[in-house]
Structure 1
Amino acid sequence: MPYPDEDFLLLSGIQHMAFCERQWALIHLEQVWAENVRTVEGKHLHHRADDPFKDESRTTLRIVRGMPVVSQQLGLRGVADVVEFHAGREHIKGENCRLENRSGWWRPVPVEYKRGRPKPDDRDAVQLCAQAIALEEMLQLHIPSGFLFYGKTKHRQTVALDNQLRQHTFELSRRMHRLAHEGITPKAQKGRHCSLCSLTEHCQPYWMLRHRPVKSYLERMCRVDGEGL
């Protein structure tokens, strides 16, 4: 069921949700943000990719940078770093489309730019998948794969947009909407990812995990006092 316009969330947030749902809530619900080396490098990389005045046209390739995308199914809107449109002479239903002021048929391929190296999880892939789902809705076709470009390796990584990845993307988007609707910031879950997060000082995961509720503290103290009477 499509989401109402007022409930739409930022598409880029799905990567935060895949990394840590508390991080997503701090950024998107509590409006907390902090810079570190990784976020600054990422901004520079995306600035080059998202420049809308640097679109490129070739005989068989059209490159659109900073393309706005929206998905009614996911309830997400945002900007795709790069969408490549590859030319073809024949129409293949569900695979290619027309472009304004362009002859022939064009097959879209989303390309997401990331700093660093490929991740051991799918946090980057779900963001790419969400972009693809949005493009599919907008252009009325199917996109089987896309690319992740990493700043450290300077290479593209092909991502198959299979059913498993799509299902995970939908699950994450539903979780985002649920937390946004309830206004809930989840508790910290300590892990190796905490050392990579720019919000560690705001999140205070180790302090929160060590902290005992006041009720538990008072109950424990009462038991101790009772035993000494």
Structure 2
Amino acid sequence: MKIITWNCNMAFRKKAKLILAHQPDVLIIPECEHPDKFNFDIDFPKPTSTLWFGKNQNKGLGIFSYNDFELTVLDNHNENLRMIVPIKVNKGNINFNLFAIWANNPDDKDGQYVEQVWKAIHHYDSLISQTNTILIGDFNSNTIWDKPRRIGNHSSVVKRLEDKGIYSVYHSHYKQNQGLEAHPTLYLYRHQDKPYHLDYCFVSEDILQNLQAVEIGEYEYWTKFSDHVPIIATFKSC
């Protein structure tokens, strides 16, 4: 099973074939336009399931599945946390809860970025368990920006998830420390000298045990299309 997240920097319909070449089973695309703008063809085949959330038809959160993986939004989706979406993923005997994340909610004056994730992991506490759980997407955060007096900073989110047996696949696979990542996922203004690690895939320990590979996109190729590069996580099973 392969799960990919890539903030496409808008106009996904023109870029879909680039990421679909990696043959994802589940694909999380922040800054994706509404699917009504898509024209499916040989380079952009119609997904098994399509979900989209947002107010701006040109820039929302898209979630797509292929290879008969089915996506269903869970009934207790909190629309106040609209860019953090709880989804049931199902294919045969494979079942897990996936939280698709684009931490970007300007309407929340109490915190529109990582604070959204902090609120979500508390709101969905009963769904975020030590088994069958994945949180993935653009968290817009890193430990380097922690505000010590802010309860819901990046380190607090990481600690809360780790307490529930949920870990970053990138940090686990590459033996990296939060805030000291060797592989950026964002190049501000697409400048190579302004790198940050803002995109993550956290999984419960049972899924982590089946991790085969983690790939972070290369600057030279992907920044021709977006300021972000993809995270590609491959698992033996789930």
Larger Rg: 1
TM-score with structure 1 setting the length: 0.27
TM-score with structure 2 setting the length: 0.27
